[in-house]
Structure 1
Amino acid sequence: MATDKSQYHRPQPPADPNQEYMTLQETAFVLGMSTSWLRRLLRANPELCGRNGGPGRKIMTSREQRAAIHAVRSAGDPRKGRSMPRPRRRPAARTRATAAA
């Protein structure tokens, strides 16, 4: 029987935003990032999260860890050295004047 695992790949609002411990999905929602970006960040910085459970090992974060994640994220994008990942630029719309030239 196949199970629907899409819930693990999308941020979910927590029951209480001020609770002590949150799952990875709740942390991503509170910090305003995707779960895949947060997983990559936590893989590079394992001290910023705790793991709960057995083989599945649910990823949990405490208040202090969420504050540290926010500080790391605010310091910039470690992949490119920029302040934040840049959004992709759309090509400029063609106008009649430039199309005729």
Structure 2
Amino acid sequence: MPTDKTRYHQPQPPADPDQEYMTVQETAYVLQASTNWIRRLLRDNPHLCGRNGNKRIVINREQRAAIHAIRSGGDPRTGRSIPSQRRRPAARTRAAVAA
């Protein structure tokens, strides 16, 4: 386990992307997500992870596939498939100013 806490919260590339079990940091790297997002998801869905004897969270292939399905399902906060875009206010025209 890293002693530097900044490395603990950063995604890290796995030694082998096809390995059976990965840590949270390796899973975050593979799924291109933050470790905080992965940890929040696993806190709310404890069936998507396991723990080894050292109390490290490990995730197998099936669990990674389920996490990927949740992640690609859209924004869970609003239920939208695509996050909404901010719209710029319409530019003022001379006709609108004259009226």
TM-score range, shorter chain: 0.7 to 0.9
* 1:99 alignment counterpart: none
CA deviation after TM superposition for structure 1 residue 65, in Å = 0.5
**Partner residue of 1:48?**
48
Residues 1:85 and 1:64: Cα distance change in structure 2 (over 3 Å): same
Gaps spanning 5+ residues in structure 1: where? 93-101
Paired AA for residue 31 in structure 1: L
Change (3 A) 1:86 1:9: farther
Structure 2: 5+ residue stretches without partners: 90-99
Give the TM-score of the pair, scaled to structure 1.
0.75
The AA in structure 2 aligned to 1:12 is: Q
Quick one: structure 1 residues 16 and 46, their matched pair in 2 at CA, closer, same or farther if it must change by over 3 Å?
same
Larger Rg: 2
In structure 2, the partner of 1:65 is 63
**Matched residue type, 1:23:** T
- Over the aligned positions, Cα root-mean-square deviation in angstroms equals 2.4
Flag the structure with higher strand content.
Answer: 1
Tell me the amino acid that sits aligned with residue 24 of structure 2: L
Partner in structure 2 of residue 98 of structure 1: none
